[in-house]
Structure 1
Amino acid sequence: MFFRRRSKYNLAVTVILIFLGFFVYNRFLQGPIHPPEPVRGPPPKEGQQHWTKHEYNHPVDSYLVLPTKYSRLPKIQHDFPRETWSQRSARVKKQDAVKEAFLHAWNGYKTHAWSRDEVSPTSGGFRDPFSGWGATLVDSLDTLIIMGLDKEFKEALIALEDIDFTITRQRDINVFETVIRYVGGFLAAYDLSKGKHPILLKKAVELSDMLYDCFDTKNRMPQARWNWATSLKGGEIHPGAATVMAELGSFSVEFTRLTQLTGDLKYYDAAQRIMNELDRAQETTNLPGLWPKFVDANSLKFTRNDFGIGACADSTYEYLPKEHIMVGGASDQYRRMYESAMEPIKKHLVFRAMTKDEDQHILFSADVKANSAKGPVTSHTYSAMHLSCFIGATIGLGAKLFNRPEDMYYARGLTDGCIWAYDVFPHGVMAEDFKVVPCDSMDSCAWDEKKWLNTISSDSEYARSRVKSEKLPPGVINVHDSNYKLRPEAIESVFYMWRISGDQFYQDAAWRMFKNVDAITRTNFGHSAVHDVRDDEPVKKDEMESFWTAETLKYFYLTFSEPNLVSLDDYVFNTEAHPLRRPTSSR
């Protein structure tokens, strides 16, 4: 009995000493946080003006009211069983490998591009494609929190004080990119840190108040590529006659959350006016249920004939189920819009690819042309595009949220298609855009090498020579864009399918993808996009967009985390992977 009591006493003393050690280290030995000095760019141009508040040309008489009568929404995440010790050990090792890759990229940015938009990961320089406001810094705030990098997060918080949104070298500001990266980044960090750092919300409001001027048009549709100098001078601005669909329809999640946190209705109002116009037009386009990839936002005409869910359209569809969650199911509008889009997506866009993996349903999404709402779809482009790989996640989320279990076939097939695309290229990394052979049937599709070669060329010898010279994997007939740009869309869907289904297949696929991507992209100062994933030694592009640390590595990390870390039942991810607190959860 004496020895047992002494053992418990020793254990208690040890725990206390460890706690005191951590306290002393963090309080006294770690010392004050000193972020690095900003990397300076060229001096401001002489006479360059600062943004200031001014009168609107087209003020809003009254704001649309944010619905707040929340409903109880279905559970999204799988009920994961308790893992064994060995399972946890293996998972944590993979998670740590992703964290090391993030720190490698972050330290390259911190050393060579601190406060700039992006580090040039091969040369050690920097780039400022997003107004020079520290895109990587802001975009990565929530990743720092999620990975438990407290010191790095504190350094970043201090650096935020120096970001001046009132001045930019950009002639036009891409409002969509600014909202998803900066506003989304601030809000997610604010939500994840439970509101402990007021500067995060302050900066989100500061930037959003400036961006609000892009909506100062006659019909309140935004000038998506906003000439802010014209607005500053009090000039009239107009929405674009060929506005990218995704840049028009992807404000709702961020601006709704901003209204929820501030109580200021103008943000929700700005986004909701757009969505009401999309709702009005949805069944009147040349492919009812879908919107063309480009729209005349000035006249609100939706008459173009190009349709797809990849480049130029993607996040508009992604935000339909996510905004339903963000308003707590208080409005049925987004469910209805989502379901209206799903039918033509399944009927006209999703197709099965002919591959050697006959037992798998490898699905992709085509681009189509439709010249009349009453006529048939006139042509298909059977491409596999990395940007389209998000759709597995969106359909999986919608299947759970809206009780559409039959749609999980499409969610899995579209996710599996992107996993297949990674696996079949030489380094295990998917090319940006390539064409494949479509199957005649979704139900069965036997591999036919002759059909594959004949689709490449009617001359079989020439077809074989192209397969060899262009390193075309079986089933691929043309590589339109051989880049790998560090994109997150494939791992995004893999993460969602893992969290939704609990199928180990997806976690295993994520590990293969991570190892292969890390191997061909790592440089001295981070990770670089590459020119051609088919080359024996892929050439680096010296570009590392902020979504590498904001999205791609975050999704990899969360795929190997415990499922309750940023649960899909507590958060909504914006299209830049920034998790925003669901309104039914506590703030």
Structure 2
Amino acid sequence: MRVRYPVQSMSPLPSGKAVPLPKIQAAFDKESSDEAHARLAKRDAVKKTFVRCWESYKTHAWMSDELAPISGSPRNPFGGWAATLVDSLDTLWIMGLRHDFEIAVAAAANISFETVTTDEINVFETNIRYLGGFLSAYDLSGDKRLLRKAKEAGDMLYAAFDTPNRMPITRWRLRELAGAQAQGGKEQVAHDNVLLAEMGSFTMEFTRLSIITGDPKWFDAVNRITAILESQQDSTALPGMWPLVVNARDQVFNRGGAFTLGAMADSTYEYLPKTYALLGGRMPVYRTMYQKSMATAMQHNFYRPMIPDGLDILISAMVNVRTADNGKTKPELDPEGQHLVCFAGGMLAIGAKLFKLPEHLEKAQKLVDGCIWTYQALPLGIMPESFHMIPCPSINDSCPWDETVWKKEVLRRHGMDAGDISQADTVIGQKRLPKGFARIGDTRYILRPEAIESVFVLYRTTGQKYLLEAAWAMWEAIEKNTRTTLANAALTDITGTDGSLPPKSDSMESFWMGETLKYFYLIFSKPDLISLDEYVFNTEAHPFRIPAP
């Protein structure tokens, strides 16, 4: 496509040597032979599941985006560019499956971004899965074919930034636009209603591509977004954080009342400390933005839930800022937890080590423990997509269990009269609510990686061995309940209590093999395999190399 709005002044990559970064990984003690044997057995069990899924993908859905793990049919929700294959490239390399890696690279080299199977391209997903996948596999292997594919994907994505203000189109009707431009019409304009995550999550991939190629155009593209985020960070309704929805067309990122680290905002925050590391500490603005945003989140978004065993854990939730008639604003907590927001514990652990912030490591520990507790509290040992709990009055004081308060909140969350708690037991039974949960709004488990991601990161940053035990319990529950004849499938309801296997949906997103299985494999591998002192993971678990000082 021809360029309508060429860049007039290009931001150069930061110059000078990388800053020596603090150690992120813990110093691990030498393990005994028994410990090594047990660890390797667990690692190999994860690898066996990956190989099984990979072979089924090769047989039934080769070069398609996904394998449907029950029917065995191919699916193409991400453009038809072999998302599972690309997402799995670095996993193949990390697991030592070199023969299959070579087969996959040869096939990936023939992917054409000029043909697309969907009417609309999610630019965010294309960036994290495809560009991220190619860059990571190149960083690990040095195979020049992967660098060529990364540049192809990068050039395609860069075209989404060809707007009057150089802000990207995030939901891109690629075929329609290309056809119109070929006929001399239809220019593209950034949208006025854009999810924060889809605007702020290009920094890692675009920056790494510019570093590797020496071409600053991708860095320049994301640097413009970073500048807007930085300039408006202190003027939002919850200063330090940005609203869930922003206006890219008018470059207004400070209006709106919903604030979260969770879905649709998550990776914008995640990428702040990680981009700082990826740039070798040469752009302090990412450190400043991270510390401001986390100070706000720790004050407003984290809550301690009231639970029967009184464990001191944290959950990250949404905050809605309301404006009263007198013009004053008031933050109100919506205590919904999400599986997706479990990434936050790992983010805080990295930030704590990178910037020497012990309070962040303390919060990371409690957030990760909160996700582990939520897994263990459900009858299958698997956490739901979303749920509501009861916030304690303070995250710092003791919070004794109160059965009556819990039952009243259950009734309230289900639209019933909280004054008559005689109905509560019926609701609790019908909804299969474990103690501590007021409502489970989404009972699915869609093979998500965020909980094991943060368990892995906290283990690598602290070396605490209980995290290995927690990870294995999570693995056994997931493998037992999601396994199909061909691969592993998403679950529609994890609240069952009758001992039978839960109902499944015919879905296995590429992140199962690109993220979830990779993190399970890595936590049971030696700590120097993809060291957090040498690599930083993008939000699709693709590791990029940190520059040496």
The TM-score with structure 1 as length reference comes to 0.89
Distance 1:94 1:262, change over 3 A: same
2:390 matched to which residue of 1?
A: 437
Residues of 1 paired with 2:287 and 2:140: CA distance? 27
Could you tell me which runs of 5 or more consecutive residues in structure 1 were left unpaired when the two chains were aligned.
1-53
- Residue 372 of structure 1, CA deviation: 5.3
2:482 to 506, 516, 521: 521
* Percent identity of paired positions between Structure 1 and Structure 2: 47
Structure 2 counterparts to residues 163-174 of structure 1, below 5 A: 163-174=111-122
- Residue 229 of structure 1, CA deviation: 3.0
1:229 equivalent to 2:175? Answer: yes
- Residue 256 of structure 1, CA deviation: 0.7
Residues of 2 paired with 1:524 and 1:556: CA distance? 21
2:9 to 53, 56, 62: 62
2:535 matched to which residue of 1?
A: 571
Structure 2 counterparts to residues 57-456 of structure 1, below 5 A: 57-69=4-16, 70-193=18-141, 195=142, 197-232=143-178, 233-234=180-181, 235-301=186-252, 302-358=254-310, 360-371=311-322, 375-443=328-396, 444-456=398-410
When structure 1 is superposed on structure 2, of 378-387 and 391-400 the one drifting more is 378-387
> Do 2:76 and 2:117's aligned partners in 1 also have CA atoms closer than 8 Å?
no
Residues of 2 paired with 1:580 and 1:118: CA distance? 24
1:44 matched to which residue of 2?
A: none
Deviations 1:274-311 (A, max 9, x none): 11111111111111111111111111223111111101
> Do 1:68 and 1:328's aligned partners in 2 also have CA atoms closer than 8 Å?
no
Residues of 2 paired with 1:269 and 1:479: CA distance? 43
2:432 matched to which residue of 1?
A: 471
1:581 matched to which residue of 2?
A: 545
1:493 to 454, 461, 466: 454
> Do 2:154 and 2:209's aligned partners in 1 also have CA atoms closer than 8 Å?
no
- Secondary structure class of the residue paired with 1:377: strand
When structure 1 is superposed on structure 2, of 451-460 and 122-131 the one drifting more is 451-460
Residues of 1 paired with 2:238 and 2:366: CA distance? 23
> Do 2:109 and 2:146's aligned partners in 1 also have CA atoms closer than 8 Å?
no
Residues of 2 paired with 1:375 and 1:513: CA distance? 45
Residues of 2 paired with 1:57 and 1:502: CA distance? 52
- Secondary structure class of the residue paired with 2:234: coil
- Secondary structure class of the residue paired with 2:211: helix
Structure 2 counterparts to residues 45-60 of structure 1, below 5 A: 54-60=1-7
- Residue 534 of structure 1, CA deviation: 1.2
> Do 2:342 and 2:451's aligned partners in 1 also have CA atoms closer than 8 Å?
yes
- Residue 62 of structure 1, CA deviation: 2.4
Aligned residues: 529
> Do 2:314 and 2:370's aligned partners in 1 also have CA atoms closer than 8 Å?
yes
Residue type at the aligned position of 1:61 = Q
- Residue 240 of structure 1, CA deviation: 1.6
Residues of 2 paired with 1:281 and 1:463: CA distance? 46
Residues of 2 paired with 1:203 and 1:131: CA distance? 15
- Secondary structure class of the residue paired with 1:575: coil
> Do 1:230 and 1:236's aligned partners in 2 also have CA atoms closer than 8 Å?
no
Residues of 1 paired with 2:332 and 2:19: CA distance? 42
Radius of gyration: which is bigger?
1
- Residue 343 of structure 1, CA deviation: 1.3
Residues of 2 paired with 1:469 and 1:520: CA distance? 22
2:473 matched to which residue of 1?
A: 512
Residues of 1 paired with 2:520 and 2:294: CA distance? 28
- Secondary structure class of the residue paired with 2:71: coil
- Residue 371 of structure 1, CA deviation: 3.7
- Residue 376 of structure 1, CA deviation: 4.0
When structure 1 is superposed on structure 2, of 434-443 and 506-515 the one drifting more is 434-443
Deviations 1:346-394 (A, max 9, x none): 1110000111221x32111121111459844342210110111000000
> Do 1:213 and 1:231's aligned partners in 2 also have CA atoms closer than 8 Å?
no
> Do 2:43 and 2:521's aligned partners in 1 also have CA atoms closer than 8 Å?
yes
- Residue 170 of structure 1, CA deviation: 1.6
Deviations 1:174-228 (A, max 9, x none): 11100100111011111111x1x11100001011111111001111110000122
- Secondary structure class of the residue paired with 1:116: coil
Residue type at the aligned position of 2:444 = N
- Secondary structure class of the residue paired with 1:379: strand
Residues of 1 paired with 2:514 and 2:63: CA distance? 15
Residues of 2 paired with 1:378 and 1:145: CA distance? 46
Distance 1:119 1:508, change over 3 A: same
**RMSD of equivalent CA atoms:** 1.3
The TM-score with structure 2 as length reference comes to 0.95
Residues of 1 paired with 2:351 and 2:508: CA distance? 31
> Do 1:141 and 1:185's aligned partners in 2 also have CA atoms closer than 8 Å?
yes
> Do 2:384 and 2:444's aligned partners in 1 also have CA atoms closer than 8 Å?
yes
2:502 to 525, 531, 538: 538
Residue type at the aligned position of 1:491 = I
Deviations 1:36-68 (A, max 9, x none): xxxxxxxxxxxxxxxxxx321110012111113
> Do 1:230 and 1:237's aligned partners in 2 also have CA atoms closer than 8 Å?
no
1:551 equivalent to 2:509? Answer: no
When structure 1 is superposed on structure 2, of 530-539 and 217-226 the one drifting more is 530-539
Residues of 1 paired with 2:56 and 2:268: CA distance? 33
